[in-house]
Structure 1
Amino acid sequence: MTNNGNKYLAGAVSFAVFAGVVGPAAAVSWTPPGVTMGVPLGAAFAPGIYVSNLTHYGDGPDKSITADVPAFTWSTGWKVFGASYSAVVIPEVLKVQNKVTSKDFAGIFSPLLIPVSLSWNLGQGFFVSVGEGIYFPFDSDVSFTTSGQTSGWAAETRVAFSYLKDGWIVSANTIYGVTTADDIGRRQPNYFNVDWTVARTFGKWQVGAVGYGAWDLEETVTNAAVGKGHIVGVGGMVGYDFGGSKLLLELTRAVEQGGATNYSRNDTHVWARLTFPIWKPAEPGEEHTALK
């Protein structure tokens, strides 16, 4: 919550709702902590166009959220500096219920464009990728904006390290975000996220552990707390490969929380991700694909 009676609603889906006069921002990253769990982003898809649709429900002491986050990835098959080049577009539809005020908010969050993502195959099952993305200004009840105003921008650098060999999937996907203010000067703090996965495949099945962490890189001040907000969550994952498409189911719980933040230590989240190609060239290349 914020000063002057504003209601700032945010969860692990990284959005905000403002319904009043100006007050200080509270901590929450633009990219939802946990949304890349289970996906070894260090390795590129095989050439083609893919949809990875994440449906997400979270419930905590003071709010519940529902989100649908489709990611559209074009893995070009082109080589840039020896790396596989991809581009990604990620819209996000959100609904939040504030249990304190009994109000619901829904809408489209600021869209994310990642025009450049480069993945290097280092050999022996090791991959590393670097991507640059940007959230565009947007006017929505669930964007990082004061009511009636347009949100600012946010730029992200994404670096992922993945190991894929002998049935093992081990990945750390990191995100560094730099934010700008909305029309009236209200801004979220810069942030750092990491989503991690340790999993093993058994035939068509995949079983493992997942987790996430998000940390503010600047202090924020609210009427409840002062300091850098953070959240850490852990959970489990099970997946199944249908042959071309892949389903991942995850369950997480936030186990550590602190600072001036709208995250809740007791938040429980359920994640379901279906990934499938919508187009592939007639003769795909030999790059690794997470669907393989």
Structure 2
Amino acid sequence: MLNDLGSKLRKSIDSLAFKSGVAAAACMTALCMTAGSPALAGSVTQPGETIGLAVGAPLPEGVYFVDTFDWGVREGQNGAPDTTLAVNIPVLAWATPAKVLGARLQLLAALPALAVGVQNSDYTSGIYNPFLAGQLAWDLGNGLGVSYLLGVYLPVGNKLGFDSTSINQRLGISYTADDWNLTANTIYGIHTRSESRTLNPDFLNIDVTATKTFGKWTVGPVGFASWDLNKPTSTYRKQDQIALGALAGYNFDKVILQGYLTRTVSETNYGGKDTRAWGRLIVPF
């Protein structure tokens, strides 16, 4: 039974596509901290965090634990120091037996943590914004799946998270026939407060996966892009970025491991290019 479940997970573990994000915001946090400012910026959802997940195909009924973790360095420009960020995102997902409009109802929760530091300076670590979400995932047949997620990031009072509530919507499309995972996950974030101690732009992220499974191995190219959609203050400098990379995964039957590496190829107002190593552990209960 675990073998069958592992095979299904390899194709359809999409609903965990919600894991709360951090990287852009935390990197900017560190840069701003060096300048004596507490302001944050960038996507609340970490760009690239749903890479490797077939965001569209419904999960088999059950409970899952998924832990996504990453570490990377954003290079400083014009003499600015490098910024290092580590993120851990533990997730619990329940693929319920309930159906709504023909879609499986899936419930998700995450409590991420991060550590951020500036070159030749101390690290700061703490809990990031908790995330709660519900998702509807449709199996349209012939390997095609579509999902819609509605979630919320809850505010936190520390200097590493956002102090305002953020609404998160996601539309995922996946093709998983013939051992392929061709997926695009579009993530739209809306902040609910016009004024706060942190800079909270609305944002749009797109995570893309194009992998193929050979036996127990999964490999293929991946990428992501993110854009700020508005300016929370008149002096705010809107950010955007594109990153490309590659993924490799292995199905151990009882657990699935994935790893991928991404590198910024284009960025605006992030302060430098980011190189990031990612890992993921998927365990069905």
Q: Hey, what's the Cα distance between the residues in 2 that align with 1:26 and 1:152?
A: 11
User: Is the Cα–Cα contact under 8 Å of residues 255 and 266 in structure 1 kept in the other structure?
Assistant: yes
2:157 aligned with 1:112: no
Identity value in percent? 34
User: Is the Cα–Cα contact under 8 Å of residues 250 and 270 in structure 1 kept in the other structure?
Assistant: yes
User: Is the Cα–Cα contact under 8 Å of residues 83 and 117 in structure 2 kept in the other structure?
Assistant: yes
Change (3 A) 1:11 1:128: closer
Greater mean deviation of Cα atoms: 21-30 or 170-179? 21-30
Equivalent position SS for 1:36: coil
Q: Hey, what's the Cα distance between the residues in 2 that align with 1:41 and 1:64?
A: 29
Question: 35, 38, 49: which is aligned to 2:49?
Answer: 35
Question: 61, 65, 75: which is aligned to 1:51?
Answer: 65
Equivalent position SS for 1:166: helix
Change (3 A) 1:186 1:94: closer
2:23 aligned with 1:12: yes
Q: Hey, what's the Cα distance between the residues in 2 that align with 1:65 and 1:39?
A: 22
Deviation at residue 265 of structure 1 after TM alignment? 4.2
Q: Hey, what's the Cα distance between the residues in 2 that align with 1:14 and 1:71?
A: 20
Alignment of 1:239-278 (within 5 A): 239-258=249-268, 261=269, 263-278=270-285
Deviation at residue 78 of structure 1 after TM alignment? 1.2
Change (3 A) 1:256 1:222: farther
Question: 134, 142, 145: which is aligned to 1:124?
Answer: 142
Deviation at residue 30 of structure 1 after TM alignment? 0.1
Aligned length: 256
What is the identity, as a one-letter code, of the residue corresponding to 2:280? Answer: R
Q: Hey, what's the Cα distance between the residues in 1 that align with 2:89 and 2:274?
A: 19
Greater mean deviation of Cα atoms: 202-211 or 132-141? 132-141
Structure 2: runs of 5 or more not aligned: 1-20, 76-81
What residue is the counterpart of 1:286 in the other structure? none
Q: Hey, what's the Cα distance between the residues in 2 that align with 1:183 and 1:221?
A: 9
Deviation at residue 111 of structure 1 after TM alignment? 0.4
Change (3 A) 1:185 1:139: closer
What residue is the counterpart of 2:116 in the other structure? 96
What is the identity, as a one-letter code, of the residue corresponding to 1:120? Answer: W
Deviation at residue 198 of structure 1 after TM alignment? 0.1
Equivalent position SS for 2:59: coil
2:84 aligned with 1:74: no
Q: Hey, what's the Cα distance between the residues in 2 that align with 1:110 and 1:12?
A: 12
2:167 aligned with 1:159: no
Equivalent position SS for 1:39: coil
User: Is the Cα–Cα contact under 8 Å of residues 27 and 188 in structure 1 kept in the other structure?
Assistant: yes
Change (3 A) 1:238 1:276: same
What residue is the counterpart of 1:201 in the other structure? 213
Q: Hey, what's the Cα distance between the residues in 2 that align with 1:112 and 1:163?
A: 27
Q: Hey, what's the Cα distance between the residues in 1 that align with 2:263 and 2:248?
A: 16
Change (3 A) 1:66 1:44: same
Equivalent position SS for 1:219: coil
Change (3 A) 1:154 1:59: same
- Please, what is the CA RMSD of the aligned residues? 2.5
User: Is the Cα–Cα contact under 8 Å of residues 22 and 87 in structure 2 kept in the other structure?
Assistant: no
User: Is the Cα–Cα contact under 8 Å of residues 166 and 192 in structure 2 kept in the other structure?
Assistant: yes
